[in-house]
Amino acid sequence: MILDKINEAKDLKTLQNEEMKILADEIRKLIIKKVNETGGHMGPNLGIVETTIALHKVFNSPVDKIVFDVSHQCYPHKILTGRKEGFTDPSKYNVYTGYTAPEESEHDIFKIGHTSTSTSLAVGLAKARDLKNEKGNIIALIGDGSLSGGEAFEGLDCAADLNSNIIIIVNDNDMSIAENSGGLYKNLKLLRETNGKSELNFFKSLGFDYYYVNEGNCIEKLIETFEKVKDINHPTVVHVKTLKGCGLKEAEENKETFHWIMPHALDNFYNPPIVEQENYTNITTDYILREAKKDKTIVAITPATPGVSGFNKKFREALKNQYVDTGITEQHAVAFASGLAKNGAKPILAVMSSFIQRTYDQLSQDLCLNNSPATILVYWGGLTNADATHLTCFDIPLMMNIPNLVYLAPTNKEEYLAMLDWSVKQNKYSTAIRIPNIELISTGIEDKTDYSILNKYKKEQEGSEVAILGLGNFLPLAYKTAYQIEKTLNIKPTIINPRFITGLDKELLEELKKTHKIIITLEDGILSGGFGEKIASFYGPSNIKVLNYGGKKEFTDRIPLNKIYKDCRLDETLITEDIIQALNLTAIN
Amino acid sequence: MILDKINEAKDLKTLQNEEMKILADEIRKLIIKKVNETGGHMGPNLGIVETTIALHKVFNSPVDKIVFDVSHQCYPHKILTGRKEGFTDPSKYNVYTGYTAPEESEHDIFKIGHTSTSTSLAVGLAKARDLKNEKGNIIALIGDGSLSGGEAFEGLDCAADLNSNIIIIVNDNDMSIAENSGGLYKNLKLLRETNGKSELNFFKSLGFDYYYVNEGNCIEKLIETFEKVKDINHPTVVHVKTLKGCGLKEAEENKETFHWIMPHALDNFYNPPIVEQENYTNITTDYILREAKKDKTIVAITPATPGVSGFNKKFREALKNQYVDTGITEQHAVAFASGLAKNGAKPILAVMSSFIQRTYDQLSQDLCLNNSPATILVYWGGLTNADATHLTCFDIPLMMNIPNLVYLAPTNKEEYLAMLDWSVKQNKYSTAIRIPNIELISTGIEDKTDYSILNKYKKEQEGSEVAILGLGNFLPLAYKTAYQIEKTLNIKPTIINPRFITGLDKELLEELKKTHKIIITLEDGILSGGFGEKIASFYGPSNIKVLNYGGKKEFTDRIPLNKIYKDCRLDETLITEDIIQALNLTAIN
């Protein structure tokens, strides 16, 4: 194998063109095998193999610095920069992260997993280089999809003004995760169709020097162009047309499916396991499809992540103009929803918890300050074993401290559907719902609660001495803890399902004082700034004790969930121990 | 006066061109007189008089909907839509807000005060119109400065894809608050210089139909163009060249100074009162100027709001390439700072509390996840009598719950300078400093604290029974409260200056348990998600009582600060009453 000779990036320097082509094939095979085994980003990595080889052939990383936007296309880079064992040796498949990680290699400048940041980060690197009077190329490699994000535009606009070396490589595979949306993509298409020669040129209009590479999976062509722009003294865009999924027929033909895959998705592609079970995702899409037929102003919106919310092709085709993919534009998506709601439509915006982080000011100013009655569905919220870049444990503190927002935490199917229906049909509040991130629980009993009466908690079990507030995903833990307490202490605790994240049920909390000594709060997210602290503050002046349970304020990085739970004492036995200590009790069992 | 005939927008319909010109003069005079009296946005409003008249002449508000970006140019619109008394009658100068406000008029669609949101909001309005099969024009009026904001780009990109009526009016006065920065502005310049005819056209590259009006302060020309685009069936940009400050010589010649003025700034323009007193702003610029000479990698950064941080012309000229105005790009500015820091430079980014809201994900992902040692200075943080759009009370919960960040709250000059110096010179932590928003206090004693020992609170006064934690701006209130308690209860409270917003001094908090019964927390921002709740949570399991004081989770709107303080019991007498109640004590006085 040619790869045997490549232990660090500089080993590429001596390779001939033919060897590099073979190397590309070798890398491609490794990626297909490994990603099919572990899951991960397939299409983006297969498309960028040649670009990565050419980059390391022409430039001198880490003196020349490459910033990988969203960094889900960094596998070839990892293979070429001393980490190939993570792809050749199955026992080491999980040693390296799926994103750039400075702790792994000096060739990775940043830990990145959210899109559209590379241009700004690169401008910073370039400006520092200039202030230090140093040399070297600063390169941002950004996909066409990521260009729709506002931060990418801010960075591009500033990059164009830099008056020194910065090279933006636009990896144009004509896809975001799904199809691109936005006017910019018509210009990219025009540029592809004119071999980069059209006079209407988005990048040139911003002031960039511009190069186009039509054969972006051809190493020689890429090298030829990279040689031209190396050490260039002004802001330059290299627009490279690549094929997403290149080299894997299934991925080339099903770009969205193979953007990111679960383990063995390739093996199972022609015989996919059939999932007919109800889950929170498909009951949501069913609800939207049904209601959208009745009310033509209902619009389902995704900021370029339709897979997160199950907005699949069938769903999109059924909704027609009642479905909008805004591109990677979380900020716009929230303001867009506000505009829709203000003009009498019923927007339902689906966003993954990690990406709602991009919208604080839009939630606050564009939406909640205007009390626009949009519905935001927050997916995957909770503590997680995910990469540090994709944690989903910050949405509660992010959102619950914004005035006017009603953020709901359902705990079962019927409750969720009742909340969703209320939220979509009311026109008074900006609302958000944290879709349960646990297996679907159905009570079988319709929830007839009037959610327009805000901040009314539900007493699930009447007890005394101890009250447990189990928010959303953690109501089951509240039940388990109550059982453990009863078994251990012969105390039957009160169990409460708060339902409303954004407000206190002061009446109920006040009432609890009479017959309870200690309040336990459980939330599936970081404690810092969240729900439990407000309960502690409420009881601060009283004699009631409060124990808050939730995640720590930290960027965990692929830590198993069990370990996180144990570290945070999110466990019925540990909580019971804490109660025993706080109340100075003795266990009976 | 022609204005006497104009009581609502439709009264414009019958006016002749000459009458409209006179009307423009009348409006201009009213704005100059009123704004000089009350303070407010001068330049943007003077520049947009003719555009506003032409808009209301041609279009039919509120059926046709106009979204005013950042809405600091809405005074002529208010005058023409039934609110002229707010400009003609000095006793009513403060009746109407300085921004669009739906509660005032059906002609105001949104409450807006942050920039770059109009395009997205307008796309939402337009899409809702289409879903409802209604007619009408949707118009976003956006300044050239606001176009650098990423949200504006996201909205533009999506607007271009709309396939129906949406009209983006670009009010190009070749100025942001200060000069524009970014490649886009070279294109706007080129378009102005070519009378809109250059083939390099940013807007056309996105797919917009494009019209250029060179004489943007000429009502006839504007009407002529607006008539052409009225009821157009596809996304259209009207690029209007206007003169910021038009009609007021001082404002035309000093665009930045007259963007927003304090009361009587025009009267005082030729004899400005000399401020030589030390304040937190000028000691900061002095520090930066001094240190930047010694260390050429220090960079002062502003996202287009240099006035907030005192980055005046003298400062900018002295710093040369060590000063960067990034344009209205808070997101980029944070990522840019991260890139600078990662490549060995020393960025100091100055942002107003209200605008740091635009950067949660960048603070989290681009900066803190990467532990990039940048310094962020947060200005004006605290409860405020400001408009609901410009509140500065959310930065603590926004920032303090982000992992890895060190957010500091100095309380006097020496402490602040020590923190600033530590922050700039260390290279381990992403840091932020909440610049005191109170009159400068100087102890005269150099602060030699080693701030690299994180989360070490300072005991300002040793006492017992009651401990008061006075964060940042509210340390003086802690002292006043201590005095009141001692006087009333004959108890000498402990006074603590936490200094670190982002962490608990658990050792000290633990120690307080021994000799204290109640802990008081004071913070100048909303309580929800903030500092005090964490103290309450810490003491939750113990017998110590906690009283948290701070702002409510609400969008206050020009509420006098005294009233806010009283509502929140932020008052030494009220706090003392609460302590008496919580501890069941009797006052001796």
Which tens digits make up the pLDDT trace of A12-28?
A: 999 999 999 999 999 99
- Which one of A71, A121, A176 makes the best mutation probe of the B interface by having the most chain B beta carbons within 10 Å? A121
> Residue B335 corresponds to which tokens in the numbers above?
């990522």
- Report the CATH superfamily, name and number, of domain A16-261: Thiamin diphosphate (ThDP)-binding fold, Pyr/PP domains (3.40.50.970)
Could you give the 3-state DSSP secondary structure of residue A66? Answer: strand
B114 touches A at CB < 8 Å: yes
CB contact under 8 A, A155 and B336: yes
Note the pLDDT of residue B289: 98
Rounded Cα distance, A242 and A213, in Å: 9
Residues 352..391 of B with a Cβ closer than 8 Å to A: which?
357-358, 360-362, 364-366, 368-370, 388-389
Contact between residue B495 and residue B575 where contact means Cβ atoms under 8 Å apart = no
Using 50, 70 and 90 to split pLDDT, how confident is the model at A178? confident
Read off the pLDDT band of B540 (50, 70, 90): very high
Is 70 exceeded by the pLDDT of residue B462?
yes
Residues in chain A: 589
H or E, element range at B500: none
Residues of B in contact with A578 (CB under 8 A): 541
Q: Do B339 and A184 touch (CB under 8 A)?
A: no
Q: Is the peptide bond before B493 cis (omega within 30 degrees of 0)?
A: no
CA dist B436 and B473 (Å) reads 6
- Could you tell me the CA-to-CA distances from B412 to B278, B416, B581 in Å, in that order? 12, 6, 33
Cβ contact A339–B120 (<8 Å) = yes
A543: chain B residues, CB-CB within 8 Å: 543, 545
B72, B118 in Cβ contact below 8 A? no
Joined together, the tokens standing for residue A297 give: 């102003």
A307 — contact with chain B (CB < 8 Å)?
A: no
Best of B68, B199, B332, B580 to disrupt the A interface (most A CBs within 10 Å) is B332
Mean pLDDT within A34-53: 97
| d(C-alpha B87, C-alpha A246), whole Å | 65
Chain A contact for B516, CB < 8 A? no
CB B262 within 8 A of CB B39: yes
List chain B domain ranges: 2-261, 284-434, 458-583
Contact residues, chain B, for A201 at CB < 8 Å: 200, 205
- State mean pLDDT over B473-479: 98
Question: Do residue A332 and residue B123 have CB atoms under 8 angstroms apart?
Answer: yes
pLDDT at A412: 98
pLDDT tens, residue by residue, B216-249: 999 999 999 999 999 999 999 999 999 999 999 9
User: Which residues are paired to B209 by β-bridges?
Assistant: B236
C-alpha dihedral sign at B37, B41, B46, B49:
negative
Closest-CA residue of chain B to A125: B339
The secondary structure of residue A580, as a DSSP letter, is H
Q: Cβ contacts of residue B33 below 8 Å, gap of 6+?
A: none
A280-434: CATH superfamily: Thiamin diphosphate (ThDP)-binding fold, Pyr/PP domains (3.40.50.970)
**Which is nearest to A410 in space by CA: A436, A430, A431?**
A436
- What's the CATH architecture for B2-261? 3-Layer(aba) Sandwich (3.40)
CB contact under 8 A, A326 and B154: yes
Q: How far is B396 from chain A (nearest CA, A)?
A: 10
Pairwise CA distance, residues B187 & B170, whole Å: 13
- Give the Å distances, CA to CA, from B198 to A203, B157, B193: 15, 20, 9
Query: Using CB atoms, which residue from B111, B322, B541 is nearest to A582?
Result: B541
Query: With an 8 Å Cβ cutoff, is B299 touching chain A?
Result: yes
> How far apart, in whole angstroms, are the C-alpha atoms of residue A577 and residue B345?
50
DSSP conformation class of A146:
G
Mean model confidence pLDDT for chain B: 97
Å between A205 CA and nearest CA of chain B? 5
Average pLDDT on A441-448 reads 97
Surface of A (430-459) touching B: CB under 8 A? none
Query: What is the mean pLDDT of the segment spanning B566-571?
Result: 98
Q: Is A538 left (phi over 0), alpha (psi -120 to 50) or beta?
A: alpha
Q: Residue B342 and residue A124: Cβ atoms within 8 Å?
A: yes
Interchain contact A135–B (C-beta under 8 A): no
| Closest chain B residue to A149, measured at CA | B154
Instruction: Please give the single-letter amino acid code of residue A307.
Output: G
B284-434 folds as Rossmann fold (3.40.50)
Q: Do B201 and A202 touch (CB under 8 A)?
A: no
Largest CA distance in chain A: 82
* Beta-bridge partner residues of A300: A323, A348
| Interatomic CA distance for residues A551 and A14, integer angstroms | 50
The reply to whether omega before B62 is within 30° of 0 (cis) is: yes
The residue assigned the tokens 């940042």 is: B472
CA distances from B538 to A93, A560, A569, B508 (A): 41, 26, 15, 12
Nearest beta carbon to residue B184 from set A111, A157, A539: A157
What is the identity of the amino acid at A347?
A: P
**pLDDT class of A589 with cuts at 50, 70, 90:** low
If you average pLDDT over residues B247-264, what whole number do you get? Answer: 95
Q: What is the pLDDT of residues A252-306, one digit of tens each?
A: 999 999 999 999 999 999 988 887 799 999 999 999 999 999 999 999 999 999 9
Task: State residue A117's pLDDT score.
Answer: 98
Residue of B nearest to A136 (CA): B343
Nearest to A110 among B65, B342, B389 (CB): B342
Are A343 and B130 a contacting pair at CB < 8 A? no
Give chain B positions within 8 Å (CB) of A547: 540-541
Q: Residue A20: enclosing H or E segment and its boundaries?
A: helix A17-38
What gap in Å lies between CA B578 and CA B546, rounded to an integer?
A: 11
Please state, as a whole number, how many other Cβ atoms lie within 10 Å of the Cβ of residue B127.
28
> In this complex, which of B111, B113, B327 lies closest to A157 when CB atoms are compared?
B327
Among chain B residues, the shortest Cα distance to A374 is held by: B124
Q: Do B326 and A158 touch (CB under 8 A)?
A: yes
pLDDT in tens, A98-141: 999 999 999 999 999 999 999 999 999 999 999 999 999 999 99
* Chain B residues in contact with A351 (beta carbon < 8 A): none
Examine the pLDDT at A176 and tell me if it is beyond 90. Answer: no
| Mean pLDDT score, B331-338 | 98
Q: What is the CATH number of domain A458-583?
A: 3.40.50.920
Q: Are strands A260-261 and A40-41 parallel, antiparallel or unpaired?
A: antiparallel
The answer to whether B65 and B126 are in contact (CB under 8 A) is no
Phi, psi of A235 (to 5 degrees): -65, 130
Q: Contact A76/A12 with Cβ under 8 angstroms? A: no
- pLDDT (tens digit per residue) in B398-444: 999 999 999 999 999 999 999 999 999 999 999 999 999 999 999 99
What's the pLDDT tens digit per position in A409-435? 999 999 999 999 999 999 999 999 999
Identify from B154, B187, B239 which residue to disrupt to test chain A contact, counting A C-beta atoms within 10 A and taking the largest count.
B154
Torsion of CA B3, B6, B10, B15, to 10 degrees: -50
Alpha carbon distance, N-terminus to C-terminus of chain B: 64
Q: Among A124, A362, A389, select the one facing B335 at the smallest CB separation.
A: A124
**Type and span of the H or E element at A24:** helix A17-38
Question: Rounded distance, CA B293 to CA B307, Å?
Answer: 22
d(CA B176, CA B194): 22
Interface test with A, best of B533, B535, B538, B544 (most A CBs within 10 A): B533
> B24: which DSSP letter?
H
List % helix, strand, coil for chain A (3-state, nearest 5): 45, 15, 40
- Contacting A residues, span 42-81, partner chain B, CB-CB under 8 Å: 65, 67
Fold match, A16-261 / A280-434? yes
CA dist A300 and A322 (Å) reads 6
User: What b/e readout covers A75-102, taking b as 16+ CB neighbours within 10 angstroms?
Assistant: bbbbbbbbbbebbbeeeebeebbbbbbe
Instruction: Write out residues 518-577 of A within 8 Å (CB-CB) of B.
Output: 526-530, 532-534, 536-537, 539-543, 545-548, 553-555
B306: amino acid identity, one letter: P
Instruction: Name the one residue in this structure whose structure tokens are 């009526």.
Output: B165
- Which A residues in the span 232-271 are in contact with B, Cβ-Cβ below 8 Å? 235
Please tell me whether the peptide bond between A493 and the residue prior to it is cis, using omega within 30 degrees of 0. Answer: no
Residue B553, C-beta contacts closer than 8 angstroms, at least 6 positions apart: A401, A402, A403, B526, B527, B528
Query: Is the alpha carbon torsion for B48, B54, B56, B58 positive or negative?
Result: negative
Q: Is A394 on the interface with B (CB under 8 A)?
A: yes
Query: Assign residue B40 a region: left if phi > 0, alpha if psi is -120 to 50, beta otherwise?
Result: left
User: Cα distance from A268 to chain B (closest Cα, Å)?
Assistant: 35
- Establish, for the pair of chains A and B, how many residue pairs have beta carbons separated by less than 8 Å: 411
Structure tokens at B84: 């002229």
Q: Which of residues 141-200 of A touch B (CB under 8 A)?
A: 148-161, 181-184, 186-187, 199-200
B397 at the A interface (CB within 8 A)? yes
Assembly ipTM: 0.97
Residue B379 in this model has a pLDDT that exceeds 90: yes
State residue A274's pLDDT score.
Answer: 80
Cα distance from A153 to chain B (closest Cα, Å)?
6
Contact B473, B524 (CB under 8 A): yes
Cα A538 to its chain centre, rounded Å, is 33
DSSP codes, B117-146: -HHHHHHHHHHHHHHTT----EEEEEETGG
Q: How far is the first Cα of chain A from the last one, in angstroms, to the nearest whole number?
A: 64
Question: Quick one: what percent of chain A has pLDDT higher than 90?
Answer: 97
Write the pLDDT tens digit of every residue in A306-364.
999 999 999 999 999 999 999 999 999 999 999 999 999 999 999 999 999 999 999 99
Nearest CA in chain B to A546: B540
Closest CA to B115 of B73, B149, B140, B86: B149
Pairing of β A494-497 and β A458-461? antiparallel
* Predicted confidence (pLDDT) at residue B275 exceeds the cutoff of 80: no
Sheet containing A494-497: order of strands:
A458-461, A494-497, A465-470, A516-526, A545-551
Longest CA span, chain B = 82
Helices of type H across A142-214: 150-159, 184-193, 202-205
Chain A's closest residue to B127, CA to CA, is A340
d(CA A376, CA A355): 12
Model confidence at B589, pLDDT cuts 50, 70, 90, reads low
